[in-house]
Amino acid sequence: MLAKMTSKNQVTLPKAVVSKVAVSDYFDIEVEGGRIVLTPVRLQKADAVRNKLEALGINESDVADAVAWARGQK
């Protein structure tokens, strides 16, 4: 199957190809042996929260302490 890349490096995936994989808005992209490999990815909101907590340097212990404080246990 053929797909054309535009001047903005955009490619439209043929419906016949997309219908054979899980529905996804995002794809992991890798280059393997000169081929571009797209793998459908389903983003989880929890993953985004975990990534943000990690970026802020907040760990499980910090979260547990905050919950205990909010519940009036500390």
Q: How many domains does the chain have?
A: 2
Confidence of residue 74 (pLDDT cuts 50, 70, 90): low
Cα 56 from Cα 9, distance rounded (Å): 34
Q: What are phi and psi of 33, to 5 degrees?
A: 55, 40
Residues 29 and 8 in one domain: yes
Residues 20 and 55 in one domain: no
Q: Are 12 and 1 in contact (CB under 8 A)?
A: no
Tokens representing residue 64 in the block = 């547990």
30 has pLDDT over 80 = yes
Distance of CA 74 to the CA centre of its chain: 36
Residues 38 and 66 in one domain: no
Q: Are 37 and 29 in contact (CB under 8 A)?
A: yes
Residues 37 and 56 in one domain: no
Residues 28 and 17 in one domain: yes
Q: What is the DSSP letter of 57?
A: T
User: What per-residue confidence (pLDDT) applies to 12?
Assistant: 94
Interval 23-38 mean pLDDT = 93
pTM: 0.52
Residues 59 and 71 in one domain: yes
User: What per-residue confidence (pLDDT) applies to 47?
Assistant: 81
